[in-house]
Amino acid sequence: MVPLTLFLKVQLRPTGIIALRALPQSKMRTALRYVPPTTLIGAIAYPLLHISGNRGETTYEKKNFKSKAESVMSLFKWVTIKTEGRPKLYGSLLKINTIYRGKVQSAVTSFPFAVFYGDSTNSLTAAYFVDEDVLSESTYSTKDLERASWGITRLGSRESIVSVEDVKKGKVQLREANNVKTAYAFPFKGVNVQGKGTLQMVVDWRSGIGDYSNAKRMVMFYPEGTVEVQGRLSIAELDGEVVVLAP
């Protein structure tokens, strides 16, 4: 029998603006246009840890510090997102003049962010594929995961608030395919794509979250609308939609 995998399909409505730091622990002011998988893990980790009464954000092991989100990371086999509409990248230029105890300082900085605004009212759909073996050995239940999905509050920075408008839960079969149509972001490796979209280099979350200096990167393709993908694909069908998973 083919094992079935639990999935959660979470519809998110932005409050207009999503500010995603390309390098989370750096002062470099570069922003991502699309939501990377690490942010999706962080987004669900927050309510999940809240439910378990764990306020931990950072764990310190000797000289290593990591995001607490890593403790829930293994609950997921794969995460991805569907972005409706084409977010616009915008940055306002700020000129800062400060007079501080006699010293006058001047600086120019910018705060770029992606603006999610347009006619689609449900512009983001996150898909979480749960590793049920890991879940059964964890302190969390399926219900906790489902409640956590409803409790996602933001993607990235504290300004990037989202509300969860709908959560669909179900079982899905993972299978192989050679040619599919998808609107969800997928790893751009060994595939042929027909259609429009954006390539974005992101951190491969499976190598760890929190310390990104040595983290593995991967290139993701974020479709604009639906695209056709060819290759040796591992896919899942949920709710009539196809998601291409990492090989």
Partner 1 sequence: MFLSVGVRFEANVEALNMVETAGNYGKHRRVPYLVEEEGKLKTVYVPAMSGESLAHAYQEHLVREALSAGLPVCDDCQRGEFYKSMNKVHLKKKVDPIPDNPKSIEEAIVKACVVEDVGGFLYAEKPPVRRSSAFQVSYALPVKSVALFATSEPQLHARHAQMDASSKKGNASEQMIYYVETGTALYGFTFNLDLDAVGVSAITSKPILDEDEIKKRREASLKALFRMLSSSQFGAKLSRFFPVGGITELVVAATDYPFVVTSPIYDDYIVKTKKRLEVLRSFGEESFLAVAGEEKVPEEALKEAIDYLHEKGAF
- Please, what is the minimum distance in Å from the beta carbon of residue 55 to partner 1? 4
Question: C-beta of 247: minimal distance to partner 1 in Å?
Answer: 34
Among residues 230, 225, 231, 229, the alpha carbon closest in space to that of 196 is found at: 225
How many positions of this chain bind partner 1 (CB under 8 A)? Answer: 50
Q: End-to-end distance of the chain based on CA atoms, in angstroms? A: 21
Residue 146 sits in the site that holds partner 1 (CB under 8 A): yes
The reply on whether position 156 binds partner 1 by CB under 8 A is no
Q: Which residues contact 62 (CB under 8 A, 6 or more apart)?
A: none
DSSP secondary structure letter of residue 206: G
**In this structure, what DSSP letter does residue 53 have?**
T
C-alpha atoms less than 13 angstroms from C-alpha of 199 in its C-beta half-sphere: 8
Query: Which of these, 11, 51, 44, 8, lies nearest to 152 by C-alpha position?
Result: 44
Site string for partner 1, 36-55 (x = CB under 8 A): ----------xx--xx-xxx
Site string for partner 1, 67-86 (x = CB under 8 A): ------------------x-
Residues in contact with partner 1 by the rule CB under 8 A: 13-17, 46-47, 50-51, 53-60, 63, 65, 85, 88, 90, 92-95, 111, 115, 117-119, 121, 143, 146-148, 150-154, 158-165, 167
